[in-house]
Chains A and B, each alone.
Chain A
């Protein structure tokens, strides 16, 4: 497999688009948690019921019924290699939970990977829509379209008073989790992030690292999402999150401006050192890679680096994850081998990017 070909596979097609404020907001995501009325929830159901849920999904949401929404491919997790599962997680198409311990887990993917429907995760299904930049409303509209389509085929567990019923009390009501992934190097460098995170938490929003629950912020990437799903309409949830995100964007921009004004040479030094590491390292751990990629991304945003596209950095962020690396290598790797492979992959990809732009 050539790197070029692999790079094509590495990014979902929405990655190529630069949505609004894409320099700071990498992506917007909507997830709708839904359960089927006639089955117990994944919390306590047995293998047989999990299988029935899967069969029902295959029957009702299979290719024969997708005319209204466009083609969806079903991937049953048990039939995938563990590396392939890991890659789906690293592309944010499925959750780590689904990859690791679901019974008859599956996911349905649209062609350009903007829609993914997880089956037999924490809830019977989770409809996920991901788009570039800050476009939560657009993502919600798209997710709703798929939600309506599923509802035409299968009876949902829904209650007039409580809304969409979910196994986890934190999802009940709208079942909506809206989140944005933000690259905030300016706020981290100026340490403002330490004040901003508690403030965001007070607004009923949650801040996490890049790979969702329980992961720490790698490469200055933060995920901000709503906590409350009950008592607020979908529109309100999305609008509230959007307005907070817009404020954070403004803060990040002014932090960047202040950095350029007060520590221009230090900043440029940092960016070019990191680029130097990426271009020359022979062994690199994922954390160091993430830090350098973040620095270089900032350098591109600020106009220091002109011959590399920002999308290449977004791509590298995903490509350098352990699952992708091993898929690229064609088999499992020891951590040390991974670090070597990661360094060579980054060098090759950057060479390619510079040739493209020379």
Chain B
């Protein structure tokens, strides 16, 4: 087979390119392959990394415009109350300023995280041992509180009182766990 680029040398590289669902067979020689380097993902070329890309990636997000149009607040002007990073700065740098930023920019994060993490937005991995104890308790308390509201709505006051006591004891445990946590 002859190289389809130069039509001279024998083709030594054979591969299939799929662009927009259209399949294209390519047969070329080494020399043309080298010249047409953009056909291949060159490894680590000119210091391009995901971090460099990220700021650009966030900037062109169409969701930004949607978010702007659909809410009254300007997303760009959101400012983290803890570290004072604005959303605009976050998009520019591609990095958060502090843990609170995750809360501050919560509404705009999902599309960004989905993009970076193959569609995922929630953590399913490790839960830290010490903090984890408190997380588990808080989740329990949250669940009980919503049950409590349901009971009150149904005017089941006796059961609601029992549940209230249960919540209180869990909250005490939570505080104790936190104190243990702060003094390991």
B26-74: which residues lie under 8 A (CB-CB) from chain A?
30, 33, 40-41, 43-51, 54
Say whether A353 faces chain B, with CB atoms less than 8 Å apart.
no
Picked from A168, A197, A198, A231, the residue with its CB within 8 Å of the CB of B121 is A231
Contact present for A231 and B116 (CB under 8 Å): no
**Smallest beta-carbon distance B44→chain A, Å:** 4
A173 and B45 contacting across the interface, CB-CB below 8 Å? no
Q: Is B93 interfacial (CB 8 A cutoff)?
A: yes
Within 8 A of A (CB), among B71-126: 82-83, 85, 93-99, 102, 112-113, 116-126
B97 touches A41 (CB 8 A): yes
Please judge, given known A-B contacts A195-B15, A227-B50, A230-B113, whether A216 and B44 are in contact too, CB under 8 Å. yes
A166 is an interface residue with CB less than 8 A from chain B = yes
A190 to B38, CA, bound (A): 20
Are B97 and A159 in touch, CB under 8 angstroms?
no
Residue of B nearest to A174 (CB): B125
**Minimum C-beta distance from B20 to chain A (A):** 16
Q: Taking the nearest CB of chain B, how far is it from the CB of A198, in angstroms?
A: 5
> Is B97's CB under 8 angstroms from A173's CB?
no
A-chain residues with CB within 8 Å of residue B131 when the two chains form the complex: 151, 155-156, 158
In the bound complex, what is the Cα–Cα distance between A233 and B112 (angstroms)? 20
In the assembled complex, B129 has its CB within 8 A of some CB on chain A: yes
Nearest-Cβ distance from residue A356 to partner chain B, whole angstroms: 35
Closest to A176 in B: B125
**Is A230 in contact with B43, judged by CB distance below 8 angstroms?**
no
Residues of A within 8 A of B85 (CB): 44
- Could you tell me if A168 and B120 are in contact, using CB atoms closer than 8 angstroms? no
| Contact yes or no, B49 A214, CB < 8 A | yes
Q: Is the CB of B44 within 8 A of A234?
A: no
Which residues from chain B contact A174 at a C-beta distance below 8 Å?
123, 125-126
Closest chain-A Cβ to B95's Cβ sits at a distance in Å of 4
> A156–B131 Cα gap in the complex (Å)?
8
The contact string, 1 if C-beta is below 8 Å from chain B, for chain A 28-71, is: 00000001010111011000000000000000000000000000
Q: Which residues of B contact A222 (CB under 8 A)?
A: 43
Against B, the Cβ 8 Å flags (1 = close, 0 = not) of A144-179 are: 100110011101111111111111111011101000
Do B99 and A229 have beta carbons less than 8 Å apart? no
B97 A160 Cβ-Cβ under 8 A: no
Q: How far is the CA of A164 from the CA of B132 in the complex (A)?
A: 12
The contact of A168 among B30, B45, B82, B95, by CB within 8 Å, is: B95
> How close is B175's CB to chain A, nearest CB, in angstroms?
16
A173 to B116, CA, bound (A): 12
A260 contacts chain B at the CB level, 8 A cutoff: no
Scan residues 204-238 of chain A and give those whose CB is less than 8 A from a CB of chain B. 204, 206-209, 213-217, 222, 227-234
B10 contacts across to A, CB distance below 8 A: none
User: Is there a chain B Cβ closer than 8 Å to A280's Cβ?
Assistant: no
The residue that A228 contacts in the complex, of B45, B95, B97, B118, with Cβ under 8 A, is B118
Is A191 engaged at the interface, CB distance under 8 Å to the other chain? yes
B120 touches A231 (CB 8 A): yes
Chain B nearest CB from A217 CB (Å) reads: 5
Q: Indicate which residue in A37, A147, A161, A209 contacts B122 across the interface (CB closer than 8 Å).
A: A161
Q: Are A230 and B121 in contact (CB under 8 A)?
A: yes
B40 x A194 contact (CB < 8 A): yes
Judged by a CB distance under 8 angstroms, whether A263 is at the interface is no
Q: Say how far A211's CB is from chain B's closest CB, in angstroms.
A: 9
* Residue of chain A at shortest CB distance from B48: A214
Residue of B nearest to A204 (CB): B118
C-alpha spacing A37/B182, complex, angstroms:
12
User: Is B172 an interface residue when CB atoms closer than 8 A count as contact?
Assistant: no
B130 touches which of A35, A151, A195, A227 (Cβ 8 Å): A151
Bound complex: CA A154 to CA B40 (Å): 46
Chain A contacts for B15, CB-based, 8 A: 195
Q: Are B40 and A197 in contact (CB under 8 A)?
A: yes
Interface residues of B in 127-161 (CB under 8 A from A): 128-131, 135, 139
Verify B43–A232 contact, CB threshold 8 A: no
* Most interface-central of B45, B85, B122 (chain A CB within 10 A): B122
By the criterion CB–CB under 8 Å, are B49 and A40 in contact? no
Kindly list 9 other residue pairs between chains A and B, CB separation below 8 angstroms, not including A166-B96, A168-B51, A169-B112.
A41-B98, A44-B85, A147-B126, A152-B130, A165-B99, A167-B96, A207-B43, A216-B44, A232-B125
Give 9 pairs: A residue, B residue, CB < 8 Å, sorted on A: A156-B128, A162-B113, A168-B95, A174-B125, A191-B12, A197-B43, A217-B44, A227-B50, A228-B118
Minimum-distance CB pairs A-B, first 8 = A231-B120, A163-B123, A214-B47, A157-B99, A230-B117, A174-B125, A43-B95, A40-B98
